[in-house]
Amino acid sequence: MPSRGARPEDGSGQVPTDNSTQHKEDLSSKIKEQKIVVDELSNLKKNRKVYRQQQNSDIFFLADRTEMLSESKNILDELRKEYQEIENSEKTKIKK
């Protein structure tokens, strides 16, 4: 499960194009990764165990599969929303 790091600014400020492009590529990569996590959790059998890694350590704890799936879907939705906001801000910059 990918860790949730500190989220960058919500894009309300003016960001140079290079940083914006890099951020967009990073988001795209995270979205692909999160899709895989959601798919893997969705396809697990009911009796399979799921473990969550403790942040900044090599310790794993038993977690609820449905809770992890729900959380992963929420993270995916947030990433998609952020990506869409960047897309929309780029479109408005082009129109100006």
The residue among 22 and 60 whose pLDDT is bigger is 60
Residue pointed to by tokens 């473990």: 51
Q: Is residue 39 part of a domain?
A: yes
- Write down the pLDDT at residue 7: 45
Domain count, the chain: 1
Q: Which pLDDT band, with edges at 50, 70 and 90, does 5 fall under?
A: very low
Q: Domain with 55 in it: what CATH number?
A: 1.10.287.370
Q: Is residue 63 part of a domain?
A: yes
The tens digit of pLDDT for each residue in 78-94 reads 999 999 998 888 888 77
Rounded CA separation 51/17 (Å): 39
- Write down the pLDDT at residue 25: 92
Q: Is residue 41 part of a domain?
A: yes
* Sign of the CA dihedral with 5 first, then 68, 26, and 87 last: negative
pTM for the model: 0.72
Q: Is residue 57 part of a domain?
A: yes
